[in-house]
Chains A and B, each alone.
Chain A
Amino acid sequence: MRLTCPLCGPRDRREFYYSGTEDYLNRPPEGAPIEAWDDMLHLRTNPAGVTKDLWYHETGCGSWLLVTRNTVTHAVLATELVAARKGGAA
């Protein structure tokens, strides 16, 4: 498996640490009901198809990536820097 780091280019999977779903990007605001935290921390979809998850270029540049890929075809559709994503935390 290979992922394209937006900064370093296409790299072998061994350079990356897999962290899980993109849900972790959506941190509830302070004072949010416990259900919102439960959603973010524990409730997961398990799609057969397109999914977005977080990978860390651990033995590379240290960037966190948001990777769009297909769990059925294994195609990697897009990678973007978490820090640069649109609609991200300001």
Chain B
Amino acid sequence: MPNLIAKSALFGRAPLTLSGTTLAEAQIGPITSVAAFRGKLAKVKKVLGGFPAPNTVSGNLIWTGPEQAFVLGQAPDLSGLAAVTDQTGGWAALRLSGPLAADTLMRLYPLDLRAAHFPKDTCARAPLGHMQSILIAEETGFLILIFRSMARTAWHEIETALQTLTARSSAEI
């Protein structure tokens, strides 16, 4: 048992709800990156029981780049087939859900995030403002993975966009 206390990126930060839309830090457990070596993708696929197509999520596998995916959880033994790297601590996870989720993120992402164009189980490597991120569409909103050190900035940007949209809707004449 570790004697050190582990803290998440936004430890102690309470969720924020505006206009029925909630921003909260998510605890998603271990993240393992799997990057197949040249010519080994088919074998990796076999071991993992599948591999997500670009821009998609498949079960606990999130596509993150050329022949590369994040496994939410531990990866099985892939030695000789893929580079396997623990990414758990490197990412902060934010979940934004509710009716204004897509509009809020379309202030920050240069992507069409409307449900018809970015449905559940779609994902994208794309910038949130100036920050690299991984964006995942869920049932009622989005999961955002952002470099841990930038979690506060990401929160601030999303919060500001949500506040702005809320002010807009209450100002409609």
Residues of chain A within 8 A of B127, CB atoms compared: 14-15, 59-60
* Nearest 5 Cβ contacts at the A-B interface: A59-B127, A12-B110, A61-B65, A7-B54, A60-B125
Residues of chain B within 8 A of A14, CB atoms compared: 110, 127
Contact A11 B110 (CB under 8 A): yes
Identify 8 residue pairs between A and B in the complex whose beta-carbon atoms are under 8 Å apart, listed by A's number.
Answer: A8-B54, A8-B55, A9-B55, A11-B110, A11-B126, A61-B65, A62-B125, A63-B66
Is A83 engaged at the interface, CB distance under 8 Å to the other chain? yes
Residues of chain A within 8 A of B55, CB atoms compared: 7-9
Instruction: Give the shortest distance, in Å, between A42 (CB) and chain B (any CB).
Output: 31
Nearest B-chain residue to A6, judged by Cβ:
B54
Is B8 engaged at the interface, CB distance under 8 Å to the other chain? no
Nearest B-chain residue to A81, judged by Cβ:
B66
The residue among B66, B111, B131, B132 with the most chain A CB atoms within 10 A of its own CB is B66
Nearest A-chain residue to B110, judged by Cβ:
A12
Contact A8 B110 (CB under 8 A): no
Majority SS of interface residues in chain A?
loop
Q: For residues 111 through 159 of chain B, which have their beta carbon under 8 Å from a beta carbon of chain A?
A: 111, 124-127, 130-132
Chain A interface (Cβ < 8 Å from any Cβ of B): 7-9, 11-12, 14-15, 57-63, 81, 83
Q: For residues 42 through 67 of chain B, which have their beta carbon under 8 Å from a beta carbon of chain A?
A: 54-55, 64-66
Residues of chain A within 8 A of B64, CB atoms compared: 61
Alpha-carbon gap, A59 to B110, bound state (A): 11
Nearest B-chain residue to A63, judged by Cβ:
B66
Residues of chain A within 8 A of B65, CB atoms compared: 7, 61-63
Alpha-carbon gap, A59 to B131, bound state (A): 7
Contact A61 B66 (CB under 8 A): yes
Residues of chain B within 8 A of A8, CB atoms compared: 54-55, 124-126
Alpha-carbon gap, A11 to B64, bound state (A): 16
Alpha-carbon gap, A68 to B89, bound state (A): 39
Residues of chain B within 8 A of A57, CB atoms compared: 125
